[in-house]
């Protein structure tokens, strides 16, 4: 091994590996021959001055994903590895992964049912402008007024992202009585959208939890008495305002007032994608998995481990 100057080896290595300067230019810059630059780089490796590391990508499928798919009969589980415990960053990573998943699976001719909430708004925001597809995006649950997290806004934005058409359900998500609901869903426009919602081949839903911080309670659609009623039925979460307990059993008291496709309609959709994250939603997600409404779950590793602890 040639006895080269250490400082010269470091200088050449920095130019080549850190500054991306081609060997020919390094030779010109340092008044060296091109072969000598190559020999200096080789000598730097032999002197352990250079440590080359290959950052292999994350495995396509983790063991935890396989466990979830087998245990809950999912078509796919996408579980994001947690780089740190920052909940905002984890939320962004999960919703970004959901957007990436949609860009991957959506194809011409698809009909996509969309619910609402903060999570789905973030998913749609992350899609951006994708490749144009001849698709329909259908609102499968009534709206929460003029909130940016409401289904009608999310439906419009998703349709814009894929260059498709949007179909809005012009009704509230929850009404005061079954009689009001029965009257509303007789309207031809609403009936048409609900029938269209039953025929979608993909649905994207959030998974809500049961407390005063949920969108239903913050927007005033559900009152304290409704919360008490749900707690009496041991409700832990909801999909499209259909509330269920930890075993996935439907809570019927409130269900009579919901304007949405039914749980049975949801189960018939070929691919229902649930997106949720957060330790506080672990029981909600577990109940959703046991309800048999989900085909795909997108969440994060910390939340997934809490779900498994609740089994």
> How confident is the prediction for the chain on average, in pLDDT?
88
Question: Residue 49's pLDDT is what?
Answer: 86
Over residues 11-26, mean pLDDT: 92
Over residues 261-271, mean pLDDT: 96
Which CATH number covers residue 15? 1.10.10.60
Residues 144 and 281 in one domain: yes
Residue recorded with tokens 């707690």:
231
Alpha-carbon distances of 86 from 92, 93, 275, rounded to whole Å: 10, 11, 18
Q: In the structure encoding, which two tokens stand for residue 59, read together? A: 């495995």
Residue recorded with tokens 């602890």:
309
In a domain, 89, yes or no: yes
In a domain, 55, yes or no: no
Question: Residue 63's pLDDT is what?
Answer: 86
The pLDDT confidence band at residue 295, using thresholds 50, 70 and 90, is very high
Residues facing 203 on adjacent strands: 113, 272
The pLDDT confidence band at residue 220, using thresholds 50, 70 and 90, is confident
The pLDDT confidence band at residue 41, using thresholds 50, 70 and 90, is very high
Question: Residue 59's pLDDT is what?
Answer: 44
Question: Residue 2's pLDDT is what?
Answer: 61
Strands 242-245, 296-300: parallel, antiparallel or unpaired by DSSP? unpaired
Residues 37 and 119 in one domain: no
Question: Residue 146's pLDDT is what?
Answer: 61
Over residues 8-17, mean pLDDT: 91
Residues 42 and 67 in one domain: no
In a domain, 53, yes or no: no
In a domain, 250, yes or no: yes
Residue 228 has pLDDT above 90, yes or no: no
Query: ∠ at Cα 159 (153, 160), nearest 5°?
Result: 90
Q: In the structure encoding, which two tokens stand for residue 224, read together? A: 């304290």
Distance CA 243, CA 230 (A): 8
Residues facing 205 on adjacent strands: 274
Tell me the CB-side half-sphere exposure of residue 71, using CA atoms within 13 A.
15
pLDDT in tens, 231-263: 899 999 999 999 999 999 998 888 899 999 999
Question: Residue 83's pLDDT is what?
Answer: 58
Q: What is the CA radius of gyration of the chain?
A: 26
Over residues 180-199, mean pLDDT: 94
Question: Residue 84's pLDDT is what?
Answer: 63
Residue 61 has pLDDT above 60, yes or no: no
Residue recorded with tokens 């698809």:
110
Residues 27 and 67 in one domain: no
Which CATH number covers residue 278? 3.40.50.1360
Question: Residue 85's pLDDT is what?
Answer: 64
Residues 229 and 277 in one domain: yes
Q: In the structure encoding, which two tokens stand for residue 70, read together? A: 């087998």
Q: In the structure encoding, which two tokens stand for residue 294, read together? A: 């989900």
Which has the higher per-residue pLDDT, 75 or 62? 75
Residue 56 has pLDDT above 50, yes or no: no
Distance CA 293, CA 295 (A): 7
Q: Phi then psi for 235, rounded to 5 degrees?
A: -65, 140
Over residues 40-55, mean pLDDT: 80
Give the structural domain span for 70.
Answer: 63-309
Question: Residue 149's pLDDT is what?
Answer: 63
Residues 180 and 121 in one domain: yes
Residue 144 has pLDDT above 80, yes or no: no
pLDDT in tens, 207-216: 988 876 677 7
Written as one string, the DSSP assignment of 32-84 is --HHHHHHHHHHHHHTT-------PPPPSS-HHHHHHHHHHT-SEEEEEPPSS
CA dihedral 290, 293, 297, 301 (to 10 degrees): -20
The set of residues, in sequence order, having a beta carbon less than 8 Å from that of 164 and lying 6+ positions away, is 112, 133, 134, 135, 136, 137, 158
Residues 28 and 159 in one domain: no
Query: ∠ at Cα 31 (26, 36), nearest 5°?
Result: 65
CA dihedral 97, 194, 281, 160 (to 10 degrees): 30
pLDDT in tens, 96-140: 999 999 999 999 999 999 998 889 999 998 888 877 889 999 999
Q: Phi then psi for 273, rounded to 5 degrees?
A: -105, 115
Domain count, the chain: 2
Question: Residue 50's pLDDT is what?
Answer: 85
């Amino acid at each position: 091994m040639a006895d080269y100057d250490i400082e010269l080896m470091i200088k050449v290595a920095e130019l080549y590996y850190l500054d991306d300067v081609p060997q020919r230019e390094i030779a010109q810059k340092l008044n060296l021959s091109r072969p000598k630059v190559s020999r200096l780089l080789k000598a730097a490796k032999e002197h352990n001055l250079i440590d080359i590391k290959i950052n292999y990508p994350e495995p396509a499928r983790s063991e935890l994903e396989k466990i979830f798919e087998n245990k809950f009969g999912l078509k796919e589980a996408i579980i994001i590895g947690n780089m740190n415990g920052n909940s905002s960053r984890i939320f962004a990573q999960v919703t970004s992964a959901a957007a990436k998943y949609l860009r991957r699976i959506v194809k011409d001719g698809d009909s996509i049912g969309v619910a609402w909430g903060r999570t789905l708004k973030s998913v749609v925001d992350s899609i951006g402008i994708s490749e144009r597809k001849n698709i329909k995006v259908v609102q499968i649950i009534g709206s929460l007024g003029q909130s940016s997290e409401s289904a009608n806004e999310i439906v419009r934005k998703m349709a814009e992202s894929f260059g498709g058409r949007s179909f809005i359900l012009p009704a509230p998500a929850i009404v005061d009585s079954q009689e009001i609901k029965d009257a509303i869903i007789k309207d031809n426009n609403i009936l048409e959208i609900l029938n269209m919602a039953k025929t979608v081949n993909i649905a994207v839903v959030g998974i809500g939890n049961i407390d005063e911080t949920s969108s239903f309670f913050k927007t005033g659609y559900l009152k304290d008495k409704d919360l008490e009623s749900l707690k009496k039925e041991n409700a832990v979460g909801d999909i499209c305002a259909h509330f269920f307990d930890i075993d996935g059993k439907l809570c019927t008291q409130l269900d009579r007032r919901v304007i949405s496709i039914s749980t049975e309609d949801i189960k018939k959709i070929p691919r229902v994608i649930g997106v949720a994250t957060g330790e506080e939603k672990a029981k909600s997600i577990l109940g959703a998995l046991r309800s048999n409404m989900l085909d795909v779950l997108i969440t994060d590793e910390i939340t997934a481990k809490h779900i498994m602890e609740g089994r």
